Amino acid sequence: MFGRVVYMPPALVATVVLIIILALAIIGYNLSENDRDAITNHTPTPPLTQSEIQVTDPPLISVHVIGCVKEKKVVKIPVGSTVEDAVVAAGGFTEEADTDAVNLAYRLSDGMQIRIPSIDDEDKTWIVSHGDNGGNGGNNEKISINKASVAELATLPGIGQTLALRIVDYREKNGGFKTLEEIMNVPGIKEAKFESIKDYITL
């Protein structure tokens, strides 16, 4: 019973072998299709183009830096930058710079001109022009000459620390300003200076 050899006609053997070959071929084809699908569905994301990269860059503002800096020039710095950022972009302070006269944390706006005074300068004005966004550091709020601090008044075009102190001294002695034009009674503020600051001040 055991060890009995089953005889199969050659034609049947050939058919069985053919069926096995076809089955293996079909299995192999399906596997390759799955591999191609996997590759197609997992194509890596292409890198950003140069134009797409530029869109993600922060917008820049232009600020003119003069006075006691190593490179007097217009610098381009990101929106939200401070006076310190502008000075660094201009090469840094010179040895004569009066760094205590400048608010390094002051945020700049487009088109501003800042001047770094020297230690020997009597006029410590460091904001020459407020640029596109108006007074008070470009926040569109006017400075109250009856309420502002010395530091706030000093940011007005052409005022600086000395004149700011005189403004505060005058309003304390005279009970405040009744009109904007009255600020011309402060020593050192004449008509030309008033014209340069009148759009930035309020009572």
pTM: 0.45
Which residues have a Cβ under 8 Å from the Cβ of 27 and sit 6 or more positions away? none
Q: Where are the chain's structural domains?
A: 9-38, 56-138, 142-203
**Which whole-number Å values give the CA distances from 95 to 69, 88, 98, in the listed order?**
9, 14, 9
Tokens coding 114? 């800042």
Residue-level pLDDT at 59 = 87
How far apart are the C-alpha atoms of 5 and 169, rounded to whole Å?
A: 124
Q: How far is CA 118 from the centre of its chain?
A: 28
Tokens coding 86? 């502008």
- What would you report as the CA-atom Rg of the chain, rounded to the nearest whole angstrom? 39
Full DSSP string of 37-69: HHHHHTPPPPPPPHHHHHHHSPPEEEEEEEESB
Instruction: State residue 31 phi and psi, 5-degree precision.
Output: -65, -40
Residue-level pLDDT at 134 = 42
Residue-level pLDDT at 159 = 81
**Residues of the chain predicted below pLDDT 70:** 1-14, 16-17, 25, 27-57, 130-141
Query: Residue 62 forms beta bridges with which residues?
Result: 76
Identity of the residue numbered 174: N
How far apart are the C-alpha atoms of 39 and 29, rounded to whole Å?
A: 15
Instruction: State pLDDT tens for residues 157-185.
Output: 778 788 889 999 999 999 999 999 999 99
Q: Does domain 142-203 have CATH number 1.10.287.3510?
A: no
